[in-house]
Amino acid sequence: MAAALRVAAVGARLSVLASGLRAAVRSLCSQATSVNERIENKRRTALLGGGQRRIDAQHKRGKLTARERISLLLDPGSFVESDMFVEHRCADFGMAADKNKFPGDSVVTGRGRINGRLVYVFSQQIIGWAQWLPLVISALWEAEDFTVFGGSLSGAHAQKICKIMDQAITVGAPVIGLNDSGGARIQEGVESLAGYADIFLRNVTASGVIPQISLIMGPCAGGAVYSPALTDFTFMVKDTSYLFITGPDVVKSVTNEDVTQEELGGAKTHTTMSGVAHRAFENDVDALCNLRDFFNYLPLSSQDPAPVRECHDPSDRLVPELDTIVPLESTKAYNMVDIIHSVVDEREFFEIMPNYAKNIIVGFARMNGRTVGIVGNQPKVASDSISFTPWNYARRQYRPYFAGCLDINSSVKGARFVRFCDAFNIPLITFVDVPGFLPGTAQEYGGIIRHGAKLLYAFAEATVPKVTVITRKAYGGAYDVMSSKHLCGDTNYAWPTAEIAVMGAKGAVEIIFKGHENVEAAQAEYIEKFANPFPAAVRGFVDDIIQPSSTRARICCDLDVLASKKVQRPWRKHANIPL
Amino acid sequence: MAGFWVGTAPLVAAGRRGRWPPQQLMLSAALRTLKHVLYYSRQCLMVSRNLGSVGYDPNEKTFDKILVANRGEIACRVIRTCKKMGIKTVAIHSDVDASSVHVKMADEAVCVGPAPTSKSYLNMDAIMEAIKKTRAQAVHPGYGFLSENKEFARCLAAEDVVFIGPDTHAIQAMGDKIESKLLAKKAEVNTIPGFDGVVKDAEEAVRIAREIGYPVMIKASAGGGGKGMRIAWDDEETRDGFRLSSQEAASSFGDDRLLIEKFIDNPRHIEIQVLGDKHGNALWLNERECSIQRRNQKVVEEAPSIFLDAETRRAMGEQAVALARAVKYSSAGTVEFLVDSKKNFYFLEMNTRLQVRVDSGIQPGSDISIYYDPMISKLITYGSDRTEALKRMADALDNYVIRGVTHNIALLREVIINSRFVKGDISTKFLSDVYPDGFKGHMLTKSEKNQLLAIASSLFVAFQLRAQHFQENSRMPVIKPDIANWELSVKLHDKVHTVVASNNGSVFSVEVDGSKLNVTSTWNLASPLLSVSVDGTQRTVQCLSREAGGNMSIQFLGTVDLTLWPRLECSGTVMAHCSLDLLGSSDAPTSASQYKVNILTRLAAELNKFMLEKVTEDTSSVLRSPMPGVVVAVSVKPGDAVAEGQEICVIEAMKMQNSMTAGKTGTVKSVHCQAGDTVGEGDLLVELE
């Protein structure tokens, strides 16, 4: 609407000018009017996307159009569009015909604001191709190939995205991609593939410079999946979005597997099994509202400190319930999320990957208004990799010895989160209750050494403020990994319930006192010596043993001091994390 | 022998003939997970001082160490008094209670077994062992558990350990319902017609029930507090009731004997407190009305009862005293009566203890176990008249901050503003009469609804505005969107309301469906309690949860203007009392005072119309556990045909047995639990085809 008014205003100004110059510029005047009309026509077509029929079809599937999505994501009236007039340049297969050209091609790009803060956005859409509608729909639902999906990626489409990404990098503001794309546009051949690569390159260049977020809001197949994979966060919309390299029919013909789209690449698959997506939301509206919420945690670029938002929660608030939250029996579970909720501002915690590798918890919260990254072991969950349900009342199969352990998936999940926080100046708070790395052939064959090293690497590499709280177990190598003092933790605390040792009493006694008769006495001695925070505290490996109820106050105070932390690392081209 | 403080303290109070200390307002500290309100705790200490240690002589010879054979707030209170008197304390606990408050308060603690009470707090062998181990000289049983167990008192006597509480004879006489009834009859106290003996089996129960005439009450001989108690209106119910009651009685009291008596329909439940000493003196205090009950557990108590006249009161008091004398009662106790509509009263039972102390046995972080009583806190308010006491109670209930557990505040608040309750037209059937289909929550009037919508909308905008408040030191300036009028669409109970809100400092002008309201508050978005003024009316709301997608859950109860209530003629101090329960059973109302609203901007609401409805699980074919508990029995196996309403399994939680029934007629597909399993809330129990 606003755009149309602007066009009218421009037109009015032009006509005043024209009447002033009278006959001398009569020819120019008539030309201006015709240009004016063409501008208006193009804008109108661009705003309508692929036309009302196309919009209705999108709505019918429970999905919004590219522009509707942008209007919900950004502050009202803040969107400034670019490249509305760009059209594809393909001349083959009748694509040059005017009816196959749409201004803006199949993506809406521009910049805008979320709660007042700058962001660059692109929103792919299925526009035009009205005459191919039946084909598009059959492709959507049968997905035998990813050629004529709407929103398919043309050279022009890619160029538009690259343009805003380039600007986002130079200006220093995040990029949000709303993906709803069918893959390469087959009519364009190699130009389309070049377009992908152009975007991939921008994704990699921008990595660690500006936050990049992808929200998958429709099918996203083939080459299109790699752009989200390169961004910092990938979110999905339940039931309407899919991510896969090849669709179910190709899978059937190649591997003879019967699988549905949802099973192959739906939100549930990627948020619980593959770990490709970081979170899923109910529908388009819910996802976009949550994205606004999430955006508030992020700094605009690696040049900016973690944002500090107005906070009403007193920084010195005591949390009495923490004094009793850790059960006396060291094999009994408790929920680390409860600790996180009660320590952070207003119990607000935006969890990342809440349903994947649940033995580690990662997510964003605020402390005294400042964004922090939280990492915590989850004693309630053993490991996704073990076949039993970790906390099953009815079968009583809970295996306390594995609770909160590190395995391949949790190490990778944690490492990626820690590296994001470090790249964007977000302080890290780590809650430790870890019995060690998960043993077994499955883990060793899967490369737990290589993957576990990633988390170790990420914590060691991080130069942001690091505060660590050991709530209970910190055993073995996993103790070192979890942001220990030795990896340059700035402040490391232990609760009185902390046990920092090479391993639990039972295992240790079996080794130290092998063949010994009085195992119980030996075990008691070991517990007396090691199952407490003193051995670490006397060596200065923890800075203090604190009353759990004072945890919030202590962390808030430390973060204020650590805000000016600076660390210099020796020059290098880039580090070499064990991938 | 009769106790070192229970014996003395009440006699001092007795001098006042039941007049209560002139406190303006008394409240107990409740479960406050978020905020600790100092004012209330101070008041709470006053209560303990007044009732706990008045009349204590510091020079009197006391024990060096006693064992407290109880848990929760009861044990805490005993331990606190002991500390004041310089007596060392030993707490006992089950393994799930290891870190509870009473264990921490005591000087020593001994674990006496696993969670089920029959294996821990009722485990006499383990407790005797603990006494020997810790060399405690005496045992304070608190109330409930072993406090009225004659066997335990005898064991203690054999070991030369002093039992602090009423003597064995009184316990024996009064702790056993059958014996107490016989005694009461002898003392010429009115008793309910019934069968004075133990019922052998279900068939005998039916025969006796027919003799007495329906309806009948089946109750545990050793019982109390509503456990093991059931009403039967026909033969079938008698058989069912007999089975369930004897199971409950066995698990709660370790004694499955049952008795049957005539059920007095529409009765009031009124109790008289009596005090006796060792010289045969006994006197009675004014009554308390405890008619508002759920499953025979008191929910709201009130004193004085507005139903009794002076004559009935005296008659009841005199009979209570006669009974106390008959059993040579030398302590404080409570005699419970049922009073019918014609003011006939019948002796119900005598509790060898004094009730109503005000305290909370939990603190933030405490575990509330499924194994024990659901009561988490009691609340007492006083007023110079009934209206004032009730008004204060309503205010106090609004100020409870409870998170993490389901509770009955909404029900309590609804009861005390119910017109029948306010008029005094109550009976023990009040709750089932007023809420025949269970309590569904407060019904909002139109103006209350508008207020709720206005508050919720203001909160939404306040959150939105705060989301734009960043510390301005960034490279890139924040350009806040300029929105003068927030056009919102608010969904409550499936109805969509149009709201326009504008903000000026702390004042929000809100137009709800065309009517204008002004909402003022401090808008402290971190505070669990938010005091809000809507067009001058003061409201206390709690924002329980908020999601980015627009869902918000708000606790809002709506205060009825108490000045409009009929003023009741009352003399002296009026006390209203209610128990805050944890809700666990299947028929329990959920926290209905929570209103779930969905707030979206107008644009978002318009686009939200295109979102598809998600398919929800068909709940009639799956049976899930409504609460955490233990499976007592499973009566079906895969392949069985079941009819709608047929019992499928029984779950015990909070000491109550809950029969889970089939939601539809069908065939059992799979059974996911077996007797003895511990199940969590929402766990799948049985699937039907």
pLDDT, one tens digit per residue, over A380-419 is 876 655 433 333 333 333 444 567 899 999 999 999 999 9
Residues of B in contact with A118 (CB under 8 A): 476
pLDDT surpassing 60 at residue A316: yes
pLDDT of residue B607: 94
| Arithmetic mean of pLDDT, B151-177 | 75
Q: Which of A170-179, A399-408, B75-84 tops mean pLDDT?
A: A170-179
Return the higher-pLDDT residue of B11 and A416.
A416
Span A127-142, average pLDDT? 37
The pLDDT of residue B588 is 33
**Region A466-482: what's the mean pLDDT?**
95
How does residue B45 score in pLDDT terms, banded at 50, 70 and 90?
very low
**For residues A212 and A195, what is the distance between their CA atoms, to the nearest angstrom?**
18
pLDDT of residue B489: 94
Side-chain-side CA neighbours of residue B382 (13 Å): 17
Mean pLDDT of all residues in B410-428: 78
- pLDDT at res. A540: 95
pLDDT of residue B39: 25
Whether the predicted interface score ipTM is above 0.90: no
Which pLDDT tens digit goes with each residue over A6-58? Answer: 544 444 454 544 455 555 555 555 566 688 888 888 888 778 766 787 788 88
CA distance linking residue A405 with residue A403, whole number of Å? 6
The answer to whether residue B76 scores a pLDDT higher than 80 is yes
Q: For residue B401, name the pLDDT band (cuts at 50, 70, 90).
A: low
B:268-307 residues touching chain A, CB 8 A cutoff: none
3-state SS assignment for residue A478: helix
Residues B220 and B249: beta-carbon distance below 8 Å: yes
Would strands B666-671 and B332-339 be described as parallel, antiparallel, or unpaired? Answer: unpaired
Q: Residue A101's pLDDT is what? A: 65
Displacement of CA B55 from its chain's centroid (Å): 31
User: Which stretch, B106-120, B588-602, B609-623, has highest mean pLDDT?
Assistant: B106-120
More confident residue, A304 or B398: A304
Interacting residues of A28 by C-beta distance below 8 A, sequence separation 6+? A18, A21
pLDDT at A506: 77
pLDDT of residue B219: 80
Q: What is the mean pLDDT of residues B136-156?
A: 81
Q: Which of A119-123, A244-248, A537-541, B393-397 is least confident?
A: B393-397
**For residues A69 and B679, what is the distance between their CA atoms, to the nearest angstrom?**
43
CB contact under 8 A, A394 and B603: no
Bridge partner residues of B336 (DSSP): B271, B349
Segment of A72-81, B278-287, B624-633 carrying the highest mean pLDDT:
A72-81
pLDDT at A369: 95
Tell me which chain A residues have a C-beta less than 8 angstroms from the C-beta of B468.
115-116
pLDDT for the residue A216: 95
Per residue in A514-556, pLDDT tens? Answer: 777 787 888 888 888 888 899 999 999 999 999 999 999 999 9
Residue B408, pLDDT above cutoff 70: no
Residues of B in contact with A393 (CB under 8 A): 628, 677-680, 683
Check residues B45 and B283 and name the one with the higher pLDDT.
Answer: B283
Residue B677 contacts residue B624 (beta carbons within 8 Å): no
Residue B244: C-alpha distances to residues A92, B31, B119, B228, B633 (Å): 82, 32, 20, 7, 11
CB nearest A172 (choices: B475, B478, B610)? B475
DSSP for residue B243 = H
Tokens representing B642? 């079941």
pLDDT value of position A438: 87
pLDDT score of A315? 95
Residues in chain B with CB shorter than 8 Å from the CB of A239 are 612, 614
Which residues numbered 526-545 in B keep a CB inside 8 Å of some CB on A? 526-527
Percentage of residues of chain A with pLDDT beyond 70:
82
CB contact (8 A) between residue B526 and residue A346: yes
Per-residue model confidence (pLDDT) at position B485 = 92
CB contact B682 to A (< 8 Å)? no
Mean of pLDDT values over A119-137:
58
Question: Which token pair is A571?
Answer: 């020059």
Instruction: Indicate the average pLDDT of chain B.
Output: 73
CB count in 10 Å sphere of residue B618: 10
The closest of A308, A289, A313, A287 to A297, measured between CA atoms, is A308
Give tens-digit pLDDT for B315-349.
998 888 888 888 777 777 788 888 887 788 888 88
Instruction: Identify whether the C-beta of residue B197 lies closer than 8 Å to the C-beta of residue B366.
Output: no
CA angle A89, A91, A93 (to 5 degrees): 130
Q: How far is B27 from chain A (nearest CA, A)?
A: 21
Q: What is the pLDDT of residue B297?
A: 67
Residues of B in contact with A64 (CB under 8 A): 607, 610
Mean model confidence pLDDT for chain A? 84
Q: If pLDDT is split at 50, 70 and 90, which confidence band does A187 have?
A: low
- Indicate yes or no: CB of A321 within 8 angstroms of CB of B550: no
- Whether residue A483 is predicted with pLDDT greater than 80 in this model: the reply is yes
Query: Taking residues A101-127, what's their average pLDDT?
Result: 85
For residue B617, what pLDDT is reported? 61
The reply to whether B470 touches chain A by the CB within 8 Å rule is: yes
Q: What is the pLDDT of residues B229-250, one digit of tens each?
A: 788 888 888 888 888 888 887 7
Specify the higher pLDDT residue, A48 or A481.
Answer: A481
Residues 6 or more apart from A562 whose CB is under 8 A from it?
A427, A465, A467, A490, A491
Does B590 contact A at CB distance below 8 Å?
no
B362 φ, ψ to 5°?
A: -125, 160
Q: If you measure CA to CA, which chain B residue comes closest to A295?
A: B467
Q: Which of A252-266, B113-127, B162-176, B652-666 has the lowest mean pLDDT?
A: B162-176
Would you call B480 and A304 a contact, using CB atoms and an 8 Å cutoff? no
pLDDT at res. B393: 77
Inform me whether the pLDDT recorded for B227 exceeds 80. no
So what's the pLDDT on residue B166? 63
Nearest to B271 by CA among B321, B336, B177: B336
Contact A116 B480 (CB under 8 A): yes
> How high is the pLDDT of residue B55?
35
Residue B435 has pLDDT above 80, yes or no: no
pLDDT value of residue A286: 95
List CB contacts (< 8 A) between B109 and chain A.
none
Inter-chain CB pairs, A–B, below 8 Å: 146
- Phi and psi, residue B516, nearest 5°: -95, 140
DSSP code for A402: G
Overall average pLDDT of the A135-161 stretch? 54
pLDDT of residue B622: 81
Contact B226, B296 (CB under 8 A): yes
Count of residues in chain A: 579
Ranking A43-52, A151-160, A459-468, B14-23 by mean pLDDT, the lowest is B14-23
d(CA B433, CA B425): 11
- Chain centre to alpha carbon of residue A278: 5
Least confidently predicted of A230-244, A282-296, B9-23, B390-404: B9-23
β-partners of residue B501 are B486, B510
A438-456 pLDDT, tens per residue?
888 888 999 999 999 999 9
Residue A126 has pLDDT above 50, yes or no: yes
CA neighbor of B407 nearest in space, from B583, B626, B631, B183: B583
- B496 lies within 8 A of chain A by CB: no
Tell me, what's the pLDDT at A6?
52
Q: Is the pLDDT of residue B214 over 70?
A: yes
Q: Name the band, by pLDDT with cuts 50, 70 and 90, for residue A365.
A: very high
pLDDT in tens, B363-384: 544 444 444 444 556 677 777 7
Considering only residues A410 and B38, tell me which one the structure prediction assigns the higher pLDDT. A410
pLDDT band, residue A174 (cuts 50/70/90): very high
Residue A86 pLDDT > 90: no
Rounded mean pLDDT, A458-473: 96
B29: alpha, beta or left? (left if phi > 0; alpha if psi -120 to 50): beta
Which one from B73, B271, B349, B448 is the annotated catalytic residue? B349
